[in-house]
Structure 1
């Protein structure tokens, strides 16, 4: 049956590559009973909403709203610009790979880099509304994929407060102006510029 399963997965992948929105489901037992229905269930077309590509401004807004907390684990995450600085200053110690290759990109990027995920997957009727969006690490985002929280046994953690943890954004906004040479790095410059445009300083707690 493993060969059948592999073929089903390959067929599912092909349908996705052809732009056909579908869901792969498995029946429990009776694998050879009514195979035409089994096949139909495995590859039925299912319309889904288009996944939104979030701008960096939108990302920062959600990150700050959730207090840079991973809403699936409660762990603290770090503002992307800070991670960029670390990789810029210590490329051998904290390497970054633009395609996120696991053998070249430091695991800290996967565990600490905040991303946006749909709590209810679009494939299950979820929306792009803020209420369905949460901050989570790249690692957990990839692990959850299109599963629901119920399917994988996860719970939604409450958002954090910037007064408790700001993702080192306060540090980033004070450190970069003191080291203008960092702005020669495209990624650092992009994150800093957007923070200035959003005037995040006024939304951040003062240094303790």
Structure 2
């Protein structure tokens, strides 16, 4: 937790309280159903929370920004970002009902009022969003094809409406068919100089 406060020194008391509660809550629910790797709980704040918050180092979502966390799994990156961006709206989507049921419990325990969780496939979602975020869900060509009609046309943030996708390894082949003007790669180690993030983008 100290790393969260170190990299984000201007958190409110309410935000600090929620981030502090997260590990205990995830420990409890992970004993009931494996929503995140048990090994990752040892470095919970680096692997899950800080990793998720890397987006907050490159963009400040304006109030009422609407974000879908596609394939949220155990609620990452959506839940940490929803704590950080209290005036934006987060829709956490996953096709696995058991995971979403636990995510809903976690949302309630953290008293998050700007987060909604649904068990639904992406192609069946009728809403539109400013941004779609995800961690390691699928290769970018498949992801773009899946969500290309899910965006609000008018942008209001510093970046045009689009995708923030967490990746690792070499992206050359995955991105080779995209217009370079439409892609920007951020190296998370530049944001958080911790060895865990060395190959993460």
Q: TM-score by structure 1 length? A: 0.23
| More strand, by proportion | 2
Q: TM-score by structure 2 length? A: 0.24
Structure of greater Rg: 1
- Bigger relative contact order, structure 1 or 2, given CA contacts below 8 A and separation 6+? 1
